Structure 1
């Protein structure tokens, strides 16, 4: 596992004291609160709540996980998000390391409290490019299980890393959270580094691209940023929906990927929805994205969930050799956890903590107890994307319309209903819901919720639409 380093912009010139433990504690509370909203209470309690934070003598922020297993999960699933939130919240220049208990802090290449930094280094290497070799690599083609839900995307990924020139450009992976988009992108980066000496792959989240561009503009030094991004053979950017609706960033993003495509370099993108449904303000960007190959990834079926579970158990045995999960338990978990591979892995981690870590056997009682404590009911867990699509179909508009800036009554009413249902049927926070509706503010969501609530209480015919949508979304 690579120790990804992330420097946060300097604020020493402002006179604000950013060196104390109180600041670190305050920022960490903000980070944890955001992660709780975004990951949900179950995964938060299991993976994030156990982390501790401290400030090292060198001035770096050290986030300590109780085990290597926990550290690896957090780095893979939330590492970029932690660093992104920290960068938004902490005004000081810091390096951030995620370590396992007992692991020594790496020595920084340069003094982190040196002179004022003009531009922040934001182009982080993909974890797979600098990680030491491990017996059970997590995000590679070998550990990516293929089924009807992802076979097109998997085939496209393998093709692009073996072809001398890009067969499709750009390649766009899309699907709900936890279906394997990030895994597949890291697998591409890993395969390039291992099998194509001299060629460079760069994986970034959209937040890293966005924050890097904003910082470069503030420092009036966008040339270095552009060179760092464009001087690669494979550029992989995850969660590109976060770029939509930000005109200046959209423009830079358009020119970046257009330049790479013109130079016959491979561009790989991922989002929770297809490019045609992204609320892009720049139609040139939408046209460029839709002109490539769009590959869907959907929720895994029972057979694929069982394959994924077997793979995760094999990986876990590298940390816990005595781990033995009976076939009956595997079948039960694969049938019981239907939402995503990510949640399936989270439940497995919880089961391991209750059994293997304590030297106890994995039994059905331990599994049912873990499910009960995680509050996983059989009721379908809805996503904002599913709600947007259902509302769009019901009112005869598109999901892109709902997330657009249009203010006609034919769009505003469905948008308000979709926001209302997102607030009442999911655990997403108001700011998160706003971001998923074209980057709107949380106050807009509050207004929509209050508006729909008032109409329902007043006996407006809209109440019948809302009731029909709720029953349809819940499969009633």
Structure 2
């Protein structure tokens, strides 16, 4: 054999010779593929022989051999040549199985030999967190605050090529992020039952990873997560600060993206706001489409209640509800959609059990604790103080008559928050903003609603202020 660059020729007809050659290759490969990929994919390999231009490598599982053949074959062949044991193709021999040939063209006689298939991923039902049958696209209420997130989720569920990967949805609690993820899974299973969809929480990802480490089954773990067509992880912020889990997620992410597989993630904040997240992970999370799901406005809250009521009437056709009750709930319960749906569920249950109509009086009596919690959460005065602090202006200028843009936009933001986070009427809000007319308040609210769809800074300011007020 010809000498490799920097190395002498090694006789690999013996086991010792193969080990010496592979030791040289490992040094070269570790530098070229990176420590993480080396540890995950190259380290488990063993060189059995190099004969007739064919290098035979033993691998723990057929899956690992198949992955290495697709992603590292050229690097291994180059390293073999440089280390003094050149070969024209690779054969991967899973322990106890028929050899698996690499992707390099083979002579016809050898190509006819059976190729060991990579181990199949478990059926999606075995690996996917149990889905809620109610969380489908048909039951998702769309409004300005979530229309982009909905459209992106729909596009992915159709199975067509999309120009973004991953899709990263972020926003507060109870805004529909999990609903959209599960809707994607439901829709994909309905359209293409054989699509391998894996949906789970970040906590479950971490538990599986730690269990695989403990039981020395990391190859099985990698096989499951790298063999899916769509990976969806909920509440990804929970891997922050957990270095080993982040490392494995990083390699899983890269492996799936390299294979053209789709990833969907959710979190309670944007990638750059997740503390203790490695910079390289943050960078990967931002490489696709990042969409904020905004807090529900009045129209969305009312739409959710109407949808919930329609479903309740299917179960109980005799359910009666007075005019104004849904409007009352949409105005008063503003914390999040889960609390809002829970309030209506409680009302429907009580009305059905005692055979009464759902009236405003019944709502006030039955939901006293929910209404009190919502009322004590925020006041117009507190909103004004927080907005003035956020925009670094005086409270007197926020409320006063000056129409400078530096005062007018924060004033409109404060009016919008007062309208959506309190039960005060428009005239009452106007009076608390220097005696302004209710039409001025309406104009301010509409202006912020328009800007939310076009101005990312306004959307970010609103999210920060909501969190400060709700906290």
TM range (shorter): 0.5 to 0.7
Alignment-derived partner of residue 196 in structure 1: 192
Verify the 8 A CA contact 2:322 2:360 in the aligned structure 1. Answer: no
Using the alignment, how far apart are the partners of 2:265 and 2:323 within structure 1?
37
Quickly say closer, same or farther: Cα 1:472–1:274, change in 2 above 3 A: closer
1:282 shift after superposition: 1.9
Alignment-derived partner of residue 248 in structure 2: 252
Using the alignment, how far apart are the partners of 2:129 and 2:151 within structure 1?
21
1:370 to 2:349 alignment? no
Alignment-derived partner of residue 144 in structure 2: 148
1:85-116 CA distances to partner (integer Å, 9 max, x unpaired)?
xxxxxxxxxxxxxxxxxxxxxxxxxxxxxxxx
Alignment-derived partner of residue 280 in structure 2: 284
Aligned match for 1:242, one of 238, 244, 256: 238
Greater relative CO, 1 or 2 (CA 8 Å, sep 6+)? 1
1:318 to 2:321 alignment? no
Verify the 8 A CA contact 2:201 2:233 in the aligned structure 1. Answer: yes
1:357 shift after superposition: 2.4
1:124 shift after superposition: 4.2
1:163 shift after superposition: 4.1
Q: Residue 182 of structure 2 aligns to a residue in which SS?
A: helix
Verify the 8 A CA contact 1:203 1:237 in the aligned structure 2. Answer: yes
1:143 shift after superposition: 0.7
Structure 2: where are the runs of 5+ without partners?
1-123, 393-463
1:352-404 CA distances to partner (integer Å, 9 max, x unpaired)?
2321122222111110012214443413369xxx9xx99x9699xxxxxxxxx
Q: Residue 376 of structure 2 aligns to a residue in which SS?
A: coil
Total equivalences in the alignment? 270
Verify the 8 A CA contact 1:175 1:271 in the aligned structure 2. Answer: yes
Aligned match for 2:128, one of 125, 130, 139: 125
1:304 to 2:300 alignment? yes
Using the alignment, how far apart are the partners of 2:234 and 2:314 within structure 1?
28
Verify the 8 A CA contact 1:260 1:266 in the aligned structure 2. Answer: yes
Q: Which residues in structure 2 correspond to 1:31-430 (within 5 Å)?
A: 124-128=127-131, 137-374=133-370, 375-380=372-377
Q: Residue 317 of structure 1 aligns to a residue in which SS?
A: helix
**Larger Rg belongs to:** 2
Verify the 8 A CA contact 1:175 1:297 in the aligned structure 2. Answer: yes
Quickly say closer, same or farther: Cα 1:320–1:271, change in 2 above 3 A: same
Verify the 8 A CA contact 2:136 2:179 in the aligned structure 1. Answer: yes
Q: Residue 378 of structure 1 aligns to a residue in which SS?
A: helix
1:296-338 CA distances to partner (integer Å, 9 max, x unpaired)?
1011111111111111112223333322333311111111111
Structure 1: where are the runs of 5+ without partners?
1-120, 132-136, 396-468
1:179 shift after superposition: 0.4
Using the alignment, how far apart are the partners of 2:207 and 2:194 within structure 1?
28
Using the alignment, how far apart are the partners of 2:199 and 2:130 within structure 1?
8
TM-score by length of 1: 0.52
Using the alignment, how far apart are the partners of 1:310 and 1:236 within structure 2?
29
1:350 shift after superposition: 1.6
Quickly say closer, same or farther: Cα 1:349–1:124, change in 2 above 3 A: farther
Using the alignment, how far apart are the partners of 1:321 and 1:202 within structure 2?
38
Using the alignment, how far apart are the partners of 1:281 and 1:247 within structure 2?
9
Verify the 8 A CA contact 1:339 1:381 in the aligned structure 2. Answer: no
Q: Residue 169 of structure 2 aligns to a residue in which SS?
A: strand
TM-score by length of 2: 0.53
